[in-house]
Chains A and B, each alone.
Chain A
Amino acid sequence: MAILNVENVSKSFGGIQALDDCTFTVRADEVTCVVGPNGAGKTSVFNVITGFIKPDNGTIKFDGQIIDGLSRQSRVHLGIARTFQNLRLFEEMSVLDNVLVCLKGREATNPATAIFRPFYTSAVMKDKRERAMALLEEVGIAHKANDEASMMSYGQKKLLSIARILATDARLLLLDEPTSGLSASALDNMVALIHRLRDLGKTLLVVEHNTRIVQRIADEVLFLHRGTVLAQGRPDEIINNKELGRIYFGEVH
């Protein structure tokens, strides 16, 4: 069952065609990896799905519903959440508060409630703390809950960025290069987390450069090149395709 349909989406920035008649589907409950050389348009795909850029043409459907006119916030509430390639953590806040801010639910996020309903606000805060803590445990950084986010290692920051989008309770998670720059052990951690999220019933769209990792996590692979999906298929079909390999490595190196 397709949960996401991207149909004929194009986007140009001045002279640069970031997305060019891009079409693909993402099946529910699977991990779909997006591969392609630098500048292929991988992050741009995430930006059009989440509403951070408006496409020039084309349509995007989530769960059968056209979402083109929806705000970025509405898309999160519908169940689409993303990480950023540069993480965008709230560096001066505690690890716990980073997650707490992103939790689903608008309770006590206005001044009137905070000031005039102090006991209700305390109860909300307690509940949110517990939910945030559970998510930190899920990704394995609960022991860092009270540290400032800026104090964490790069690998832990990446785990935190994932805890934050889990907080939105979204069904479709878009991870932009979750494994890049990780040490070998942090990398195994991340792969295990992606497997767990899949088992929890999340659908994942993951930008991933390393073909060995693609083979470990992907059910499906999209090959993106100059803003177009050149191929979509099972991991070994795509990875063993000599023509795609030539494009990929030809442009990377």
Chain B
Amino acid sequence: MNFFFSFLVLAEIFAVLALSTNLLLGVVGIFSVAQAAIMGIGAYTFAGLAIAGIPMPIALIAAIVLCGIINVIASLPSLRLAGDYFIITSFGIQLVATAVFINWSDVTGGATGLSGIPIVEIFGQKFVRAGPFLILSSIALGVVSLSFWLLMRAPYGRLLHAIRQDEIAVVAAGHRVLLAKVGVSAVSGMYAGVAGALYAAYIAFIDPASFDIHVSILAVTMVVVGGARTLAGSILGPLLLLAIPQLLALIDIPSTVVGPVRQLTYGALLIAFMLWRPQGIAGKSL
């Protein structure tokens, strides 16, 4: 049972990251492959502060705010660069972040990572096992999903969809594209911050590999497979993609090839969906 709860906790954490990616990539059309880097910043911020003895709610808020700000800065080049060029820029941002995670060892613990992240404790209840933690991750995903839904149904959501389709026409209607993009980047960054803090609190150990380019690409794959632009897509995608390694574990294959087989499956899924079902399982076409 613990095994199944653990799977659900991770799927929920990744659903939060997928919603962060979905807002940028699916809704506004900012193709970022740096969302894991932002998640990592949230995780290191939360972990570092918690280890230093700062109360966890404050550590969480600090991680969220910092990620919001950094994601706005990271997204700024997209205001001047057409979609395809921004992928390269965000790729660079991801590489820089990973290099910082590895080399700023005083703060991040370097390649060996940060351990000893305190256990979450609320009213004397310790959230150390997957079962209880599932309550926390479900609350977090619930709040993030609710805010995503509120954004999408508002005039602001319509504006974001319009920006993806034709920025010139949005300007001609008297709207400031810059302002709208700054807002959505901040929200997307805050989601990634939530995902990072949850991850650090749950695993109690973080290292640079937890937030590298593969994780960013995994988030994009989750959005594409689950379905872009929709809430359901960003929840289905992580459930499905994280189930794959679990299923591989059931088949009796050598542990050394599990990693490559998983990557291969993800890649094949990405290609297959783009070719035959670009709208994903529950989304609208990119």
Q: Chain A residues in contact with chain B, CB under 8 A?
A: 50, 52, 72-73, 76-77, 81-82, 84, 88-93, 97, 100-102, 104, 107-115, 118, 121, 124-125, 128, 164-165, 167-168
Contacts and interface: CB of A to CB of B under 8 A. Distances in A.
Given A52-B168, A93-B165, A101-B170, 16 more contacts: A81-B172, A89-B169, A90-B166, A91-B165, A100-B158, A102-B173, A110-B156, A110-B180, A111-B186, A114-B150, A115-B147, A115-B150, A121-B150, A121-B155, A165-B172, A168-B173
B171 interface: yes
A104 B155 contact: no
Chain B binding surface SS class: helix
Contacts of B153: 121, 125
A73 B175 contact: yes
11 contacts: A50-B172, A89-B166, A89-B169, A101-B173, A104-B174, A109-B175, A114-B151, A115-B151, A124-B155, A165-B172, A168-B173
A101 B164 CA distance: 13
B184 interface: yes
4 closest A-B pairs by CB: A76-B174, A114-B154, A102-B173, A88-B169
B172 A121 contact: no
Nearest to B168: A88
Contact of A168 (B147, B159, B174): B174
Interface of B: 147, 150-151, 153-159, 161-162, 165-166, 168-176, 179-180, 183-184, 186-187, 284
B40 to A, nearest CB: 23
A25 B194 CA distance: 57
B176 A73 contact: yes
Nearest to B173: A102
Contacts of A101: 155, 158-159, 162, 170, 173, 175
Of listed A107, A121, A124, residue having the most chain B CB within 10 A: A121
Contacts of A165: 172
Of listed B156, B175, B183, B284, residue having the most chain A CB within 10 A: B156
Nearest to B183: A111
Of listed A84, A92, A113, A164, residue having the most chain B CB within 10 A: A92
Of listed B147, B158, B171, B176, residue having the most chain A CB within 10 A: B158
A170 to B, nearest CB: 9
Contacts of A84: 168-169, 172
Contact of A93 (B161, B168, B171): B161
A114 B175 contact: no
Contacts of B166: 88-90
A93 B162 contact: yes
Contact of A90 (B161, B175, B179): B161
A93 B150 contact: no
Contacts of A108: 154-156
